Amino acid sequence: MPELPDLEVIREVLAPRLAGVEIVAAEVRRPLVVRNLLGGDAAERLVGRRFTDVGRRGKFLLLPFDDETTLVINPMLAGRIRYGEPLSRHRSRDALVLGLSDGCELRYHDAKDMGKVYLTPLGDLTRVPGWADLGPDATDPALTRDAFRGRLRRHTGEVKGILTNQSFVAGIGNAYADEICWQAGIYPFRRRPSLSDDEVVQLYEAVQITLAGAIETLRERVGDAIDVEVRDFLSVHGKAGQPCPRCGSPVSKVTHGRGGRSETNFCRTCQPGLMHGGRQRRL
């Protein structure tokens, strides 16, 4: 799942390459994924538009055009964005293919068809599902320690669940919530009221350290291959059974959600706590 660090690096790669570039051809290959909130044929509306910039808010990527419309991409679980030389053939899950005046192409590919691409007026992004409920960006300088603490007080659930709640702060998903909890030394299933003032500070600082460090690493690692997810540098997420980088204990995995679709990775030594509810313990 692309999260804030992934999409911020994608934004940095695309912004200087797309600004001023015209769309000369457009093909909507999966109408279920590509939604034209302006009405009419999306491909026809896209041809002739020029990109003016590339932006990001939380886990949304924004590609504004010179006609005051914008393409909003919400990759969700498996969406990938590719920019480069045209492929020799389409892939089965390519949802949108844009031919560009610089000779390159921009593709949105989604193996699960869960993500969405919206064409919408730039001045009315609230038409995009989920946009109106977004909290401040997790890396917004205005999200000070006090502002973070104030927003946290509104929630009483589990720490990891709060971190991934986009109305709390925008941009954190399953992977980086695991990393933040590990960085803070906090058991991910603890409920917010149990946190001390010092632990709230630790959590806030862990958000900043984890996301900034990931962005820096991805800048060095990703290059132009923005459609490839790089996660091997993470400390605990996806590392079940491997030694914790801090203490050497095996990293644990707990699956939860319908059919065990989601998993949480953490260190039981560095992040002690008691498990409640019906989650399934795997490691």
Catalytically active residues, by annotation? 2-3, 59, 261
How buried is residue 245: exposed, middle or buried, by Cβ count under 10 Å (0-12/13-18/19+)? middle
d(CA 273, CA 91): 45
Whether 254 and 279 have beta carbons less than 8 Å apart is answered as: yes
Whether 8 and 71 have beta carbons less than 8 Å apart is answered as: no
Whether 14 and 20 have beta carbons less than 8 Å apart is answered as: no
Query: Phi and psi of 105, rounded to 5°?
Result: -135, 155
Distance (Å) of CA 57 to CA 116, 174, 223 = 15, 17, 21
- The CB density around residue 83, as the number of other CB atoms within 10 Å, is 20
Structure tokens at 101: 């005046």
Whether 106 and 117 have beta carbons less than 8 Å apart is answered as: no
* Contacts for 109 with CB less than 8 Å, ≥ 6 apart: 79, 80, 81, 82, 91, 93, 94, 95, 227
